[in-house]
Amino acid sequence: MSVFFAQLRRDLLIAIRDRSEAANPIAFFLLAVLLLGLGLGRDAGTLGPGAIWVLALFANVLAAEGLFRRDHEDGTLEQMLVRARPLFPAVLGKLAAHWLLAGLPLAALSPLAVFFLHGSMAGATPLCGTLLLGTPILAALSAIGAALTVGTGRGGMLLAILVMPLYVPVLVFGVGAAKAADGAAFAQLMLAAMLVAALTTAPFAVGKALSISQEY
Amino acid sequence: MSVPFLVAEGVSCVVATRCLFRDLNITAGGGDLVEIRGANGSGKSTLLRGLAGLHVFHTGRLRRHVDFEYLGHRAGLGERLTPVENIRWLLRMRHQRVDVHAVDAAMIRLGLHGAADELCATLSAGQQRRAALARLVVSDAPLWLLDEPLTALDPSGVDLVRRLVAEHRASGGAVICATHANIAAQERTSHEIVLGQ
Amino acid sequence: MGLGSWAKRAFHRTGSPRWFFAGSRRWMIGLYTLGIALILVGSIWGLGFVPPERYQGDSFRILFVHVPAASLAQTMYIAIAVAGLVYLVWRMKMAEMLIAAAAPIGMAVTAAALATGIIWGMPTWGKGWVWDARTVSTLVLLLLFFGLQALRQAIAHPERAALAVSLLAVVGVVNIPIIKYSVEWFTTLHQPPSIEIGKRPTIASVYLWPLAVNALGYYCFVAGVVIAALRVRIVEREANAEWLRSWLAKQER
């Protein structure tokens, strides 16, 4: 546990000192909502929760891009791999910090996005709830991609290609759960199951990908 | 004799189609200093990273029986944290308790007491190197793996590293060090491994 | 000699590029010949001698290409992921080379499955693309194959690239069933009632036999292509090895 909290504390401390970078995903999300509203004009009112979910996916991928880059460059990543025994809580701490900075704010801001697009708050609560369940899964999946691409110098496009196909189930069940339609309860259940699966298995994949990135 | 801290038997490493080293044997126990020498590109860093477990050797067996400190080319200091915060994180990662007084003493010993509360980004290259070395003073790991520890240090810094290594050996620790310079000072080196022959 | 030690020896021999290179030529030629023969038999049978389907007329005959391609695409991704796991655990060089050789071929096969599916869909469904579970999962599979290639090229160090690609393949294969399941769930909710593709019609045995022959033919042929690509990889990777030089010298004589 102490490893988990040490990592969480460290990443949050860095985020507080570099507030503007931490705020980027939020600003991006609002910007995307703005562009969607302008691009669709009056049609924006007919959009379902799917539109906001898709924006959240994009914001998530962009936020994950730099997740390990600085740690890789200054050597903290190799220290983490050499020291943390086991690696799992350290990676989980990193994921938790990442979700608090880039996942939770999106879920929290989603009612605002609904308000902008529809002019009312109808459907905001289930959307916010499903984003709360879904964004940790997205964070875990995108961390795998970020760990695989760390040190390549390639940006978000590569990361998006690697992890977006894996987002398909999260999007499908997330949108399904946010809609007041048949199968919403089932989709919520699936989302919760995927959350548990992601949190228990993804840190292993992230750890493995990180140690691969430091070979040679 | 007691159990050695680290035993590497017949390790080798191939990068692409080039063989860096083959069938190397390294043993380090209490009081030992193993110096790894060789020209640029001869595989010194790769060997040390392998000993630290950062990559898998192509052949051979590696056994470590104790905790260790690894100090590579990259300092392992977050630039938006102070040296003290960095050391706290480094120790906590390995479940070592953080003794505030010991950390302060280490800062003073490395000549960083004025910079202990500044962000690492604002430190000079030599100061960053000193901040990286500070972890050796507070760490309770018996084995040190050092990759070119004298880089960017001024003469007093070089002296300090030699003294740290000598003290560590005297207190029963072991050091494996890749270097071009002489780390052992007046004392003898236990083993010398020359790569690229 | 027990079965266990035999399996162990076979594992190590297959793991040796040299042994594989020497022994695989016969396999390659055999698979090519068998594959082409089976494809010829299956295709002539399927295109010329089987009665037209009741509702679709002759357009259904693309099935004899489409179904083998779609099944082969999935099999290849799973095979790549298995090789990836082997490489991650035992660092077996051949597994890594197999992934490098098979991934572009798998991507081409997946693209073929997708293209034939769209061509088939146009007369059958009235439009080339519908959000059907199978079409969507094939598109996702194509993107997963693409990701393997993109990641390999992004990482400069060859062995690091091989390890990363292996891990990505394993992560992908774990996710494929979940993706398929989610897309199936999606399409059962969104299925327009006019298009009945949700239930898969049982294939009449007149069609089943030529299809089976064709599928086997495509499997053999693609296996031959993969072995050929693998041999090229071995020559590239082992360019400095003594055994390869002496082999080449023997060929020149």
pLDDT at residue B77 in the model: 92
d(CA C151, CA C161): 7
Across the interface, whether the CB atoms of A194 and C172 are under 8 A apart is answered no
Using a CB-CB cut-off of 8 Å, the residues of chain B touching C238 are 17
In chain A, which residues touch B (CB < 8 A)? 2-3, 6-7, 10, 13-14, 17-18, 70-71, 73-76, 78-85, 90, 211, 214-216
Output the pLDDT for position A32: 92
- What is the arrangement of strands in the sheet containing B191-194, beginning at the earlier edge strand? B68-71, B143-147, B174-178, B33-37, B191-194
Contacts of B15 in chain C (CB under 8 A): 159
CA distance A37 to A31: 10
Decide: A207 and A87 in contact? Cβ < 8 Å. Answer: yes
For residue C182, the chain A residues in CB contact (below 8 A) are: 168-169, 172-173, 190
Q: Which residues of A touch B71 (CB under 8 A)?
A: none
C191 pLDDT higher than 60? no
Edge-first strand listing for the sheet containing B18-28: B18-28, B6-15, B59-64
The kind and range of the H/E element at A69 are helix A69-74
Say whether pLDDT at B106 is over 70: yes
Same domain, B51 and B147: yes
Q: Cβ contacts (< 8 Å) between A213 and chain C: which residues?
A: 160, 164
Alpha carbon dihedral A86, A88, A93, A99, in 10-degree steps, equals 170
pLDDT tier, C125 (very low <50, low <70, confident <90, very high otherwise): confident
The tokens for B189 are 């080196």
Query: Would the CB atoms of B53 and A18 count as touching at under 8 Å?
Result: no
Q: Evaluate whether residue C9 is within a structural domain.
A: no
Mean pLDDT, to the nearest integer, of A72-92? Answer: 93
Greater confidence (C1 vs B58) lies with B58
* Residue C188 pLDDT level (bands cut at 50, 70, 90): confident
pLDDT at position C187 is: 80
**For chain A, what is the domain count?**
1
**Residue in chain C lying closest to B55 (CA):** C160
pLDDT of residue A211: 94
Q: Chain A partners of C96 at a C-beta cutoff of 8 Å?
A: none
Q: What is the DSSP string of C187-224?
A: HHHH--TT---SSPPPPPHHHHHHHHHHHHHHHHHHHH
Nearest CA-CA distance, residue C94 and chain B, Å: 14
Domain carrying residue B110: 74-141
Residues B90 and B62 in one domain: no
Closest residue in B to C241 (Cα–Cα): B17
Q: pLDDT tens digits for B28-74? A: 988 899 999 988 888 899 999 999 999 888 888 999 999 999 999 99
Q: Does C91 touch chain B (CB under 8 A)?
A: yes
Judge whether A154 is closer than 8 Å to chain C, CB to CB: yes
Choice between B187 and B170, residue whose per-residue pLDDT is larger: B170
The reply to whether residue B93 touches residue A90, judged by beta carbons under 8 angstroms, is yes
* pLDDT in the model for residue B19: 82
Cβ count within 10 A of residue C145: 27
Q: Which of the residue ranges A84-88, B145-149, C42-46, C199-203 would you say has the lowest mean pLDDT?
A: C199-203
Helix, strand, or coil (residue C53) = strand
CB A202 within 8 A of CB A143: yes
Work out the pLDDT band at C197, boundaries 50, 70, 90.
very low
Q: How far apart are CA A75 and CA B75, in angstroms?
A: 6
Cα(B53)–Cα(B143) distance, rounded to whole angstroms?
13
In this predicted model, what pLDDT tens digit does every residue of B65-96 receive, in sequence order? 999 999 999 988 999 999 999 999 999 998 88
Domain, as residue range, for A89: 2-213
Is the domain of B83 the same as that of B37?
no
Domain count, chain C: 1
- Quick one: pLDDT at residue B13? 87
Report yes or no: C179 at the A interface, CB cutoff 8 Å: yes
- Count of other CB atoms within 10 angstroms of residue B41: 13
In chain A the beta strands, taken as DSSP E runs, fall at none
- What does the pLDDT average to over B133-149? 93
Helix H, strand E, coil C: the string for chain B is CCCCCEEEEEEEEEECCEEEEEEEEEEECCCCEEEEECCCCCCHHHHHHHHCCCCCCCEEEEEECCCEEEECCCCCCCCCCCHHHHHHHHHHHCCCCCCHHHHHHHHHHCCCCCCCCCCHHHCCHHHHHHHHHHHHHHCCCCEEEEECCCCCCCHHHHHHHHHHHHHHHHCCCEEEEECCCCCCCCCCCCEEEECCC
| pLDDT at residue number C1 | 45
Please tell me the distance from the alpha carbon of residue C65 to that of residue C250, in angstroms, as a whole number: 41
Supply the Cα-derived Rg of chain A in whole angstroms: 17
Facing residue for A85 by CB, picked from B85, B90, B94 = B94
Range of the domain at C170: 32-51+59-196+226-235
Q: How many CA atoms lie within 13 A of C179 on its CB side?
A: 22
Q: For strands B143-147 and B68-71, give the pairing.
A: parallel
Is residue C193 scored above 60 in pLDDT?
no
| Of C156, C167, C189, Cβ closest to residue A212 | C167
pLDDT, average across residues A132-147: 96
In angstroms, the CA C170 to CA C168 distance is: 5
Please give the Cα distance from C84 to C78 (Å, whole number). 10
User: How distant is the Cα of C78 from the closest Cα of chain B, in angstroms?
Assistant: 26
Q: Which residues on B lie below 8 Å from A4 (Cβ)?
A: none
- How many domains, chain B? 2
Q: Rounded distance, CA B181 to CA B35, Å?
A: 10
Query: Which residues of chain A from 173 to 192 reach within 8 Å of chain C, CB to CB?
Result: 173, 176, 181-183, 186-187, 190
Whether residues B75 and A75 touch (CB distance < 8 A) is answered with: yes
| Cβ separation A10–B55 shorter than 8 A | no
Question: What residues of chain B lie within 8 A of the CB of C15, using their CB?
Answer: none
| pLDDT above 80: residue C128 | no
A59: nearest Cα among A152, A167, A151: A167
With 80 as the cut, is the pLDDT of residue A39 above it?
A: yes
- The answer on B96 and B182 residing in a single domain is no
Both structure tokens of A38: 């302008």
On whether both B93 and B83 belong to a single domain, the answer is yes
Whether C3 is covered by a domain: the verdict is: no
Domain co-membership, B57 together with B4: yes
Taking residues A79-83, report their average pLDDT. 94
Q: Which of C140, C150, C168 sits opposite A168 (nearest CB)?
A: C140
- Statement to judge: residues B12 and B38 lie in one domain: yes
Distance CA B30, CA B172 (A): 5
**Which 8-state DSSP code applies to residue C49?**
I
Q: Kindly state whether B45 is in contact with chain A, defined as any CB-CB distance less than 8 angstroms.
A: no
Q: Are B109 and B18 found together in one domain?
A: no
**pLDDT band per the 50, 70, 90 thresholds, residue C195:** very low
pLDDT at residue number B187: 65
**Alpha helix segments (H runs only) across C91-204:** 93-125, 133-154, 158-190
**Which of A65-69, C103-107, C176-180 has the highest mean predicted lDDT (pLDDT)?**
C103-107
Q: Identify which of B29, B27, B28, B19 has the alpha carbon closest to the alpha carbon of residue B59.
A: B19
What does pLDDT average to over chain A? 91
Per-residue pLDDT band at A154 (split at 50, 70, 90): confident
- Does residue C13 have a pLDDT over 70? no
Q: Can you give the pLDDT at residue B176?
A: 94
Q: Looking at per-residue confidence, does C10 or C179 come out higher?
A: C179
Instruction: Read off the pLDDT band of C201 (50, 70, 90).
Output: low
Is residue C144 less than 8 Å (CB to CB) from chain A?
A: yes
